[in-house]
Structure 1
Amino acid sequence: MKKIAVLLSGCGVFDGSEIYETVITLLAIERNGASYQCFAPNKDQFHVIDHHAQQPVSETRNVLTEAARLARGNVKPLHDLKVHEFDALIIPGGFGAAKNFSDFAVKGADAAADQDVVAFCQQFAAAKKPAGYMCIAPSLLPFVYGHGIQLTIGNDNDTAQALEQLGAKHIDCAVSDIVVDEQHRVVTTPAYMLAGSLSEAASGIDKLVAKVLSLATTD
């Protein structure tokens, strides 16, 4: 049975992992006959958002602790990764991927990434194991793979330009489709960068998970 590492950035679309994307991902992994283990960095979130008011609040929360809400408690810190035990990596979106993994959400093309997160992801790259990044999570890819990595965040021109300034090659993509960088074995899909419903998000996420698992079978 293939085993997938799933990297979470907290819990909640505005300051952590997008809950719908994460659940769809975990379900798709199981439906494809694979298993998963969730991971998250043990650090404070960039900030905390009141998801009802959609405003920041004066509060501090830990990414790992919040991710445990989403993973039903079964989440490990980054340093627990033994990359040889896994066949692939998948990262759901949500603004946490661009706030807690890097500061892309606030600095765009001038962003810097969390080096512990980058090192975690680079273990899969170094082992030539496939990876899937969705929604805004592909903003981390230039830091992991360097210049020339092919990816999509959908069709938002300003975000695409910022990613290209960081060294990525952006490809416009429909919500129901995926972009595959064959050289780096990386799969991306827009998910809620474009989706207007659960079913629309699932249409691309299901393809991403299936493709990542198919690439893993060639190891």
Structure 2
Amino acid sequence: MGKKRVAIILSGCGVYDGSELHESSAAMVHLSRAGAEVQLYAPNVNQMHVVDHMTGQPTEEVRNVLVESSRIARGNIKNLDDLSINDTDALVIPGGFGVAKNLSNWAVKGKDFTVEASVESTVKKFHATKKPIGLCCISPVLAAKLIPGCELTVGYDTECEKWPYAKTAQAMADLGCKHINKHVNEVHVDKQNKLVTTSAFMCNAPIHEVFDGIGEMVKEVLKLA
């Protein structure tokens, strides 16, 4: 069998307004080590806003998600509209606030959010053709919206210093999903929906544990591909 062909969807460049760089890099490293053929994509839309990552405050700039994502991709990136489901075996979406601001409007709408059109179409195509999807950090919210009744994890559902975003788990349940508590270096595999999720930086954990958890996600996605 030839190389597994995996698409990664990015949402910009930088945790506060785009893709989380360490999660994106971890996914790419683990896929590379496994011998997968990777192509990066992003929607050709403007970011919700641009955040100064030193101050955490929005600026007056306007930036494009595809252009900013090309920084992570070293320029080798395509418009998400050009993704061919027939040429791809699996899908991975790293986290970062760009998922909640650019790939969807979760950040401002909460449970009433919608998903950006090209992202929604892509996720639904992978699910309909029974091709695996790997999601980490906040990106499982996309599955919660688009794959009714799925099982997923964003970590733990009890908020504490280690799990500062635990309320997100309850929001997933409110959307009709089954949330499974998992540590940062673990994944949950929804075999019926071919969905693999891990918490990544939803947990206040050392970066190597986040890296290991994403490695488990990649391993399970490739098993299903």
Report the counterpart of residue 84 of structure 1 in structure 2: 86
The separation in 1 between residues aligned to 2:187 and 2:138, in whole angstroms, is: 14
Structure 1 residue 184 corresponds to structure 2 residue 184: no
Which deviates further from its counterpart, 130-139 or 103-112?
103-112
Distance apart, 1:79 and its partner CA: 1.3
Structure 1 residue 168 corresponds to structure 2 residue 177: yes
| Deviations, residues 145-197 of structure 1 (Å, cap 9, x unaligned) | 12x11111111442112122222211111001001101000000000111432
Q: How does 1:101-180 map to 2 (within 5 A)?
A: 101-146=103-148, 148-155=149-156, 156-180=165-189
What amino acid sits opposite 2:173 in the alignment? E
Contact (CA 8 Å) 1:195, 1:201: kept in 2 or not? Answer: no
Which deviates further from its counterpart, 108-117 or 80-89?
108-117
* SS of equivalent residue, structure 1 residue 93: coil
Distance apart, 1:22 and its partner CA: 0.4
The separation in 2 between residues aligned to 1:153 and 1:212, in whole angstroms, is: 17
The separation in 2 between residues aligned to 1:163 and 1:111, in whole angstroms, is: 12
Which deviates further from its counterpart, 137-146 or 31-40?
137-146
Of 190, 200, 205, 2:209 maps to: 200
Q: TM-score scaled to structure 2, two decimals?
A: 0.93
Q: How many residues align?
A: 215
Report the counterpart of residue 60 of structure 2 in structure 1: 58
The separation in 1 between residues aligned to 2:198 and 2:37, in whole angstroms, is: 21
Q: TM-score scaled to structure 1, two decimals?
A: 0.95
Query: Can you give the 5+ residue segments of structure 1 that lack an aligned partner in the other structure?
Result: none
Query: Can you give the 5+ residue segments of structure 2 that lack an aligned partner in the other structure?
Result: 157-164
Report the counterpart of residue 10 of structure 2 in structure 1: 8
Of 24, 36, 50, 1:34 maps to: 36
Report the counterpart of residue 162 of structure 2 in structure 1: none
Q: Which runs of 4+ in 1 moved over 4 A?
A: none
Percent sequence identity is 47
* SS of equivalent residue, structure 2 residue 107: helix
Contact (CA 8 Å) 1:16, 1:94: kept in 2 or not? Answer: yes
Contact (CA 8 Å) 2:95, 2:136: kept in 1 or not? Answer: yes
Which deviates further from its counterpart, 159-168 or 87-96?
159-168
Q: How does 1:17-28 map to 2 (within 5 A)?
A: 17-28=19-30
The separation in 2 between residues aligned to 1:122 and 1:109, in whole angstroms, is: 19
* SS of equivalent residue, structure 1 residue 66: helix
Contact (CA 8 Å) 2:184, 2:205: kept in 1 or not? Answer: no
* SS of equivalent residue, structure 1 residue 129: coil
Tell me how large the CA RMSD over aligned residues is.
1.1
The separation in 2 between residues aligned to 1:45 and 1:178, in whole angstroms, is: 29
